[in-house]
Amino acid sequence: LWLDTREAHLKVELLEIFQERTKEILLGYSVCISGKEQMYGVQGGRFIRLADGNSPCPKTKVKSLERI
């Protein structure tokens, strides 16, 4: 029940975190997830996973899941 009350806030927070950590690169885009820079490109009209980048990425801390 507690998690149900946080669902809308959690969706908004996760979307904001994703948008803040996504950046355009020469071949596509990169996003910081779980402390790693994951890189993606487009090939044949589809997204493909590229080798991970070397940029430092913060670990994700989701405030919506913290209990008051």
Q: Please tell me the distance from the alpha carbon of residue 33 to that of residue 27, in angstroms, as a whole number.
A: 19
pLDDT for the residue numbered 22:
92
The answer to whether the predicted template modeling score (pTM) of the entire model surpasses 0.85 is no
pLDDT (tens digit per residue) in 13-65: 888 888 888 999 888 999 998 888 999 999 999 999 999 998 888 887 777 77
Q: Please tell me the distance from the alpha carbon of residue 28 to that of residue 30, in angstroms, as a whole number.
A: 7
How crowded is the C-beta side of 23, counted as CA atoms within 13 Å? 8
**Exposed/middle/buried for residue 21 (C-beta within 10 Å: 0-12, 13-18, 19+):** middle
